[in-house]
A and B are shown apart, each in its own frame.
Chain A
Amino acid sequence: MILILNVCKEKLHYYEFVKPVEDILRNLKIDFFVKNYLEVDKDILRKCDKVIICGTSLRDNCFLENLDSFNWIKDFDKPLLGICAGMQIIGLIFNGKLKQKSEVGFYFENFKKEFLGLNNKKEVYHLHNNWIEFSSEFEEFCDSKINQAVKHKHKDFFGVLFHPEVRQKDLIKNFCLL
C-alpha cells in the first residue's frame, strides 16, 4: 500500500500534482491512499509500505513553513520518493540548503548511473523555482550543476527535481515495484 502525500496549499492544485500520480498507480493496479501532509501520524505511516511526496506549484512554498510536519522522515525506514517539492522536503530534513533556480518545461538530463530505471540522456519536465544542495548523505545521479536526482546512501530515499508524472512515468512504477 503506497501513501501519496499531497503538499499543495490550494485544493485546485490536487488535480495537477497529485491526481496524475494516482492515475499512474491506478493504471498499474497498485493500491494507494492519499493524505494531506498535515494529517500524517504514526498509524498512517504504519499502514503504508512506501511513500510518495508529490510536488506543488511554482508559487506555493507553504510547505516550507511547516517543515516540522516532516520530522517523521528522519526515522522512517520504508522507501520514500520525493517529487520536486517532495525532494526539497527530504533535502531540508537532512540539512540540505535551499537554493533558487527557475526551470520550466522540457529539459534533457544525463543520468550517469541508473536511477529507478533511467539511464543516459532523458527528457524530463521541470517546474520549479527552488532546488536543494543536498548534504553528503545523498548521492547525485545526474550530470548537472544542481541536484536533479538523488538517493540517500544508506536508505531507500529518492528525490527528483523534475516531474516524472509528466515525463518518465516509469520512474514512479519502478519505485513502486522496489
Chain B
Amino acid sequence: MKVGVLFSGGKDSCYATFIAKKNDYEISCLISIFSENKESFMFHTPCIERVKEQARVMEIPLVVVKTKGEKEKELNDLEKAIKKAVKDFGIKGIVTGAVESVYQSSRIQKICNKLNLECFNPLWQKEQIELLNDLIKNKFEIIISGVFAYPLDEKWLGRKIDKNFIKEVLMLRNKFNVSPSGEGGEFESFVLNCPLYNEKLIVDSFEDFGEKNSWSREIRLK
C-alpha cells in the first residue's frame, strides 16, 4: 500500500516511517506542516524546516503546507496537506508517530476517516522506555532540539538519546513525573541518522532560543 507519513523530523515520526517500511509499505511521500505558532498543540516546531534535508537523504518526496497554527483551524491546513499527498502520490493511507496523544491522533483519525484513508499509528501505546531502547538498538542517532518542562533546561539541547540519557530521564520520571520519551511535550528531538538515511546529517552550527525551562535549538546542517 502507498502511504504518506506525517513527518516532523523527530524520533517518533522517523521511527514510524522505519516500521512502515520494514513491513513493506511503500512510503510515497512525507507530509510536514510548518507552523508559525511555536506553541502548537498539533505540530512539532523546533528544526521543522530541516525535514527538507531529512527527506533528501531518505530520497522520499516531501509535501509541505504552512499554517498559522491557530488551534483547530490548523487542522484545515493538515487536511489540505493530506489531500495534496493523495492527489500527487495516490496514497491510500497515512502513517503517524502518535504514541499516547489522543488530542493529536483522534484529530488525524477523523481527517483520514473523512477522506477514506487508512490511518496507521505503529507506535500507539508503546511503552516509552521500550521505544527509546528500540531507537538505540536500531541505530537511530537523535539529538534533543527543544525542552519545554521543568527541570529540563538549555543544557539538554543537543544531547544524544543514548543509554545515559535513558538513565537520566528515568530518574526525572521518578522525581518530577517527566515522560521519558517526551510524550507530554517535555522535549522535542531531531534525527541525524537512521537506517532510512543514505547519508548521515551533520550539524554545522546552531542557535538556541528561550529562557528558564523552555528552549529550542535551530540547527544548520553541513
Contacts and interface: CB of A to CB of B under 8 A. Distances in A.
Partners in one complex: yes
Interface of A: 10-13, 15-16, 19-20, 23, 57-60, 102, 104-106, 125, 127, 129, 165-166
Contact of B118 (A20, A60, A104, A125): A60
B80 to A, nearest CB: 20
* Residue of B93, B118, B127 with most chain A CB atoms under a 10 A cut-off: B118
B37 interface: no
A129 B110 CA distance: 11
Interface string B8-37: 000000000001100101000000000000
A13 B120 contact: yes
B216 to A, nearest CB: 29
B109 A165 contact: no
B119 interface: yes
A15 B102 contact: no
Given A12-B20, A59-B116, A125-B102, A104 B109 contact: yes
Contacts of A59: 112-113, 116-119
Given A11-B23, A15-B122, A20-B126, 14 more contacts: A12-B23, A12-B25, A15-B121, A16-B121, A16-B122, A58-B109, A58-B113, A58-B119, A59-B119, A60-B118, A127-B106, A165-B125, A166-B124, A166-B125
Nearest to A23: B127
Given A23-B127, A104-B109, A12 B116 contact: no
Contacts of B25: 12
A60 B93 CA distance: 12
Interface of B: 1, 19-20, 23, 25, 93, 95, 102, 106, 109-110, 112-113, 116-127
A104 B113 contact: yes
A104 B126 CA distance: 20
Contacts of B124: 15-16, 20, 166
Contacts of A23: 125-127
Contacts of B126: 15, 19-20, 23
Contacts of B127: 23
22 contacts: A10-B118, A10-B120, A11-B23, A12-B19, A12-B20, A12-B23, A13-B120, A15-B122, A15-B123, A16-B121, A20-B125, A23-B125, A23-B126, A23-B127, A58-B113, A59-B117, A104-B106, A104-B113, A105-B102, A106-B102, A125-B102, A166-B124
